[in-house]
Each structure stands twice: as structure tokens, then as C-alpha cells.
Amino acid sequence: MMESKFSSSLFDIFELTPDLVEEVLAEDIDPHRHDEEELIILTKGSLEHYIDFQLEVVNAPAVCYVPQGKLHKLMPRTESEGWVITYKNEFIPNSELSFYSNFATSSAIPLTGGMCMNRFSALCQLINGEFSHPQCDLSTINHLLKALIAMILAERKTNLPNEASIKNNQQNTFNTFLRILEENYRRAEGVQFYADKLNMSARNLNLICKNNFDKSVSEIIETRKLIEAKQLLLNSDKPVSEIGYELGYNEKSYFTRVFRQKMGITPTDFRDKVRNSN
């Protein structure tokens, strides 16, 4: 997007206004990658978000979270308003927002309107006010940003299509599943492997995943493998067959077929398109 007047190597924030939207649209910025995390808090209007060769339309109120290194392009529409926040991973290390993004297919998190949206806007204004101060305190900004991320995570859980009380009761089991998956997703293991690790049936684990993430166990496993595959394709020169093998696909053709089904493009073409865009 654009640099703030008060930019920092660790953190930046600026307001998305109609004038700024016109500038962004006039510049027609190409898809790009950056070495920061990015939050787009959309309070009004809508935008198109192109990320890893997939296009999604996001309607306010919502948040888009862009992890470090993701190829993306933000295309706000003329009526769009909100806030854009960027920060280095070391400023907010190992956040749950970053962790959950390893298993999500969409960058968008819907928000509740009304008083909830007022709280988000007020917190962004507080952060911006502190950051704009000549003697701004980054530790204060750090605490405020952590509070903002906590609110986003609460909204992510609340706005999934199942009862909040059910999700609260199952949250610990779901998070344990994600931690086990993070340790084992490179292996050629299926749903039953993870269910056995949790001493439950595959059916119950699928219900918990649906309640807490609106995805089946298999979908979450494949999403995690796909996200890692894209990172390896972008950040290494390993052959496609080696990347597939590392992720538990014993045949290159099967890995290529799965990748193409999910991304609409082969692993080789994905790597070439990203590198040619830089």
C-alpha cells in the first residue's frame, strides 16, 4: 500500500480513506510480497483481495490478515474505508492469528457490526494517535495491537456458523489437533491417525473441526500441506517432486493433481508466475 508519515521498521498504520483509495487504484500496484504481517480492517464498503493467485471479494465489516511472504494485491473499491496495519513478526511473535492462517483458505474474517465495529474503529484510532505522537511508545502500541488481535480472534470464533458455547467446550481439543497436525502434516497420515492421537473417533474429530473452523479434518490437513507447498515453491529451488515427497505425496503426479485442483495452476506454473512477477 503506502508508507505512513511516521513509518517504523517494526510497525506502521494508516487510515484507508476515499482519497487514498483513489490513489491506490490510480497506481494499479502489481501483486507483491512483503516481509511484514498485514491487517486490513474494513469498516465500510468492499474490496477485492488477490492472494496466492486466488481472488476473494471482502465486504465490510471484516478483517483481512496477510501473513509475511504472501503474494497479494489489494483492490479497494471507491467507497472503501478502514485501517491498514503492518508489523514485523518480531513485534508480535507467534500470534494465534499467524498460527491459524496456516490452516485457512481465506484471508478474510467477518466482523459483527454495530457496537463491535465501533470498538474496532476506536482501538485503531487509539493506535494511530499513539503512533502519530512525536514521542510515541512502541510498547504501548504493542499492547494495543495485541488487544486488537485478541478481538479479531474472538470474532473469528463467534462468527463461525455454530453455537459459541459448543465451540468454547471443544476449543482445547481443536487447538490440540492443530498442534499435532503442525508436527505431523509432512507425513502421509489421514484422519484416523489424528483421531487416534486424540483418543476419539474420526467422526467426533470431524464434528469438532467443523464447529471450530468450518472445515473437515481432511480439508484442514490438505490446506496445511498446500500452504507449506507454496512457501517451498517460492523460497527454495527444490524440484517439485522433492517438495511433494517432503509433504507426504509419494508420486509427483498426485501432488501436481492435488495442487492444481486447489489452486487452478500446476506447482511449476505457480513458481514461474510468482518469480516472473517480482
- Confidence at 164, pLDDT banded by 50, 70, 90: low
Angle between helix 202-213 and 217-235 (nearest 10): 70
CATH, residue 146: 2.60.120.280
CATH, residue 215: 1.10.10.60
3-state DSSP assignment of residue 93: coil
Give tens-digit pLDDT for 47-71.
998 887 788 999 999 999 999 888 8
pLDDT reported for residue 161: 58
What pTM did the predictor assign?
Answer: 0.79
Q: Report yes or no on 4 lying in a domain.
A: no
The share of the chain scoring above pLDDT 70, in percent, equals 93
pLDDT reported for residue 7: 44
Cell matching residue 245: 515427497
- Confidence at 74, pLDDT banded by 50, 70, 90: confident
Q: Report yes or no on 210 lying in a domain.
A: yes
Q: Report yes or no on 252 lying in a domain.
A: yes
| Residue that terminates a domain, selected from 126, 158, 190 | 158
Give tens-digit pLDDT for 127-154.
999 999 988 899 999 999 999 999 999 8
Rg value, the chain, Cα: 20
Give tens-digit pLDDT for 188-199.
999 999 999 999
pLDDT reported for residue 204: 94
Residue written as cell 487452478?
Answer: 264
Torsion of CA 238, 241, 247, 253, to 10 degrees: 150
| Residue that terminates a domain, selected from 107, 134, 158 | 158
Measured CA to CA in angstroms, residue 53 lies from 17, 58, 163, 256 at distances of 26, 16, 33, 16
Angle between helix 217-235 and 267-277 (nearest 10): 50
Q: How far apart are CA 40 and CA 17, in angstroms?
A: 12
Domain that holds residue 177: 164-277
Mean pLDDT of the chain: 88
